[in-house]
Amino acid sequence: MASDEAHDLTSVESVQLIRQFQFEKVLNHDTRSKSINILGTINSTPAIVTAEKTAFAAHDEAAIANLLTVENGFPSIRLLDRNDIYRWYMAVLVQDLETSPGAKVSLIWPATKTHVEKYGKQRRRVIRETPELYRKILLPYIEKMRGDRIQWVYNILSHKVEADRIVYENPDPQQGFILLPDLKWDRTTMDSVYLVAIVHRRDIASIRDLNKSHIAWLKSVHSEIIQAATQTYTVISATQLRVYVHYLPSYYHFHIHVTNVEHDAGDGAAVGKAIMLSDLIARLEEMSDEVYGFANSTFTYLLGENSELWKDAYASVID
């Protein structure tokens, strides 16, 4: 997404590209999500690879049964310990790219300094963002983070890229949105469904731009997302979907996250990051302020010390 060259690669070329990755160092790892972020280079240009162990395809009982058969099960297994009726092993599982891949891998190339800092290990701070801090610090930062920085979003909205991944689209330039699988999802495991809805309108960078005039639109989008998701993935009901937004968002064009409630979305669905869209709408309905809306609210969120926002703005004003 960082360059036209990266956008234009075919499937075969993309596979060949990642095979050229040269390891430099581990940026970060997470034992809970079984994921790792690795810094390296491709053609002497910085690149970041993220690898995450995939979930078991529990919906495919035939594949799970095959996983445990004598003939096709564990090609290598070692007993770690035992106690009464309990036994613990380390094992190698049979893997297949179509039905039971070992990992989901993503590549950012060319990677910027901002990417390296974002995916590296960092301490986090609790920020209480008042309306004054929003206007003084966030607004200038948001303007800097729009435009070319989110060209990849505009490419999706104009169908230049990822058009084949679109689950649903309402093409109306003011009311509509595109719904597509988030790249974090393997697009197979229903318990970990992860979709993102990117609105077509460009006047809303974050929830800070929302006011009471947007209530009817937000309700319509929420309903349309639920309907499209449950019609596409029929094994999931409306009450099994978590529909939420981030503040701070990872990019400043309004978008909505949609996940299966069974999916452990980690920090992305945690306090200090995620706000349920239905709760957001309720807060707007309760407001007496007709014009400014959330621009006059106070929000508390977590911010990493590696972030540009912390280094350039908050570090000098917050202990």
Residues 127 and 149 in one domain: yes
Considering the domain boundaries, does residue 24 fall inside one? Answer: yes
Same domain (yes/no): 129, 18:
no
Domain co-membership, 148 together with 276: yes
The catalytic residue among 115, 200, 214, 255 is 255
| Domain region containing 213 | 123-316
**What are the phi and psi torsion angles at 90 (to 5°)?**
-110, 135
Q: Is there a domain that residue 262 lies in?
A: yes
Residue ranges of the annotated binding site for substrate are 152, 162, 182, 184, 246-257
Phi-psi region of 44 (alpha: psi -120 to 50; beta: other; left: phi over 0): left
> Which pairing describes strands 194-199 and 255-260: parallel, antiparallel, or unpaired?
antiparallel
Which residue bears the tokens 């094994």? 235
Q: What is the CATH number of the domain that holds 47?
A: 3.30.200.40
Q: How many residues are present in the chain?
A: 319
Do 72 and 88 share a domain, yes or no? yes
- Structure tokens given for 173: 């330039």
Do 83 and 7 share a structural domain? no
| 130 plus 159 within the same structural domain | yes
Residue 105: phi and psi, rounded to 5, are: -125, 135
CATH of the domain at 274: 3.30.428.10
Q: What is the pLDDT of residue 72?
A: 65
pLDDT score recorded for residue 3:
41
Indicate if 142 and 44 belong to the same structural domain. Answer: no
- 287 φ/ψ angles, rounded to the nearest 5 degrees: -75, 145
Active site residue 255: yes
* Pair (203, 153) in one structural domain: yes
Q: Is there a domain that residue 161 lies in? A: yes
Considering the domain architecture, whether residues 77 and 169 belong to the same structural domain is answered as no
Question: Is residue 99 situated within a structural domain?
Answer: no
Q: Check whether residue 304 and residue 264 sit in a common domain.
A: yes
Give pLDDT tens digits along the chain (319 positions). Answer: 334 444 455 778 888 999 999 999 999 988 878 889 999 999 999 999 999 888 777 667 777 777 766 566 677 888 889 989 888 888 888 787 877 788 889 999 999 888 898 889 889 999 999 999 999 999 999 999 998 989 999 999 999 999 999 999 999 999 999 999 998 888 888 888 999 999 999 999 999 999 999 999 999 999 999 999 999 999 999 999 999 999 999 999 999 999 999 988 778 888 899 999 999 999 999 998 777 899 999 999 999 999 989 998 898 887 6
Number of domains in the chain: 3
Tell me how crowded residue 77 is: count the other CB atoms within 10 A of its CB: 11
**Domain co-membership, 217 together with 307:** yes
pTM: 0.78
Rounded distance, CA 314 to CA 280, Å?
A: 26
